[in-house]
Chain A
Amino acid sequence: MTSATVPLRAQSERVSPTCRARLLRLELRRSTMIWLLPLLGALFYFDAFRTAAGYPPFWFVRSSVILHELVPDVSLFAAGVAAWTGSREGRCQTVDLVTIAARPRWATALASFAATTIWTLAAFLGCVAVLYGFTATQASWGGPPWWPVAAGAAVLCAFCALGFAAGLLLPGRFTAPLAALVTFLVFIVAFRVVLDESHPTFAVLSPMNSVPHGDAGVFFHYFPDLYIVQIMFFAGIAVAVLGGLGLATASGSRIVWRTAAVVTALGLAAACTGVGLAGTASVEANGVVIPAVHDAASDRPVAYTPVCQQGAIPVCVQPAFRAYLPDLVATLSPLIHQFAGLPGAPVRVEQSSSSTTPELSVALSATEIGTLVGASATLTGNPPVLHLALTELPSQPEPPGSQSLAVQDAYVDAFIGPAGGTLGDQAQATIEAALLDNAGSLPGAAAKAANRFAALAPSVQRAWLATHLAALRSGRIALAQIP
Chain B
Amino acid sequence: MNIDIDHLTRKFGRTQAVAGVDLQVGPGVFGLLGPNGAGKTSLLRMMATVLQPSSGSLRLLGRDPHSYGQRREIRRRLGYLPQNLGYYPGFTVVEFVEYFALLKEMPPARIPAAVADAVERVALGEKARSKLRTLSGGMLRRVGIAQAIVNDPELLLLDEPTAGLDPEQRVQFRAVLRELGETSTVVVSTHLVEDVGTACTEVALIDRGNIAFRGTPDELTARGAGHGLGDSPLERGYSAVLAGGRE
| Residue positions of A touching B, CB distance < 8 A | 1-6, 8-9, 11-12, 15-16, 18-19, 22-23, 26, 29-30, 32, 88-89, 92-103, 108, 251-254
Contact = CB atoms under 8 A, between A and B. Distances in A.
23 contacts: A1-B26, A2-B201, A5-B1, A6-B27, A6-B61, A11-B105, A18-B108, A19-B102, A92-B86, A92-B89, A93-B86, A94-B88, A96-B45, A96-B48, A96-B82, A97-B86, A100-B49, A100-B75, A101-B104, A102-B73, A108-B103, A252-B68, A253-B68
Contact of B185 (A6, A9, A101): A6
Contacts of B26: 1-6
Given A5-B1, A102-B75, A23 B102 contact: yes
Interface string B81-96: 0101111111100010
Contacts of B98: 22, 26
A114 to B, nearest CB: 14
A186 to B, nearest CB: 29
B86 A19 contact: no
A365 B107 CA distance: 70
B28 interface: yes
Q: How large is the interface on B (under 10, 10 to 19, 20 to 34, 35 or more residues)?
A: 35 or more
B74 to A, nearest CB: 9
A88 B88 contact: yes
Contacts of B48: 96, 100
Contacts of A95: 86
Nearest to A91: B86
A5 B102 contact: no
Nearest to A252: B68
A16 B99 contact: no
A30 B108 contact: no
Given A88-B88, A102-B72, A23 B99 contact: yes
Contacts of B184: 6
Given A6-B185, A23-B103, 8 more contacts: A2-B30, A4-B26, A6-B184, A11-B76, A23-B102, A89-B86, A92-B89, A101-B100
Contacts of B84: 93
Interface string B53-68: 0000000011000001
Given A92-B86, A97-B147, A22 B50 contact: no
**List of 4 A-B pairs having minimum Cβ-Cβ separation, nearest first:** A93-B86, A101-B103, A2-B26, A94-B86
A171 to B, nearest CB: 11
Contacts of A100: 48-50, 75, 78, 80
A8 B105 CA distance: 16
A72 B68 CA distance: 42
B77 interface: yes
Contact of B87 (A5, A22, A23, A92): A92
A2 B28 contact: yes
Contacts of A96: 45, 48, 50, 80, 82, 86
Contacts of A89: 86
Given A22-B102, A103-B103, A252-B68, A8 B77 contact: yes
A213 to B, nearest CB: 47
B97 to A, nearest CB: 11
B86 A2 contact: no
B61 A26 contact: no
B136 interface: no
A97 B105 contact: no
Contact of A101 (B61, B75, B88): B75
Nearest to B108: A18
From A11, A18, A95, A102, residue with most partner B Cβ within 10 Å: A102
B102 A6 contact: no
B61 A8 contact: yes
Nearest to A101: B103
B105 A102 contact: yes
B227 interface: no
A22 B27 contact: no
A9 B102 contact: no
B5 interface: no
Contacts of A29: 95
A26 to B, nearest CB: 6
A92 B82 CA distance: 13
Nearest to B154: A6
Contacts of B147: 97
Contacts of A9: 77, 152, 154
A72 B76 CA distance: 43
Nearest to A7: B154
Contacts of B2: 5-6
Nearest to A255: B68
Contacts of B154: 6, 8-9
Contacts of B95: 26, 29-30
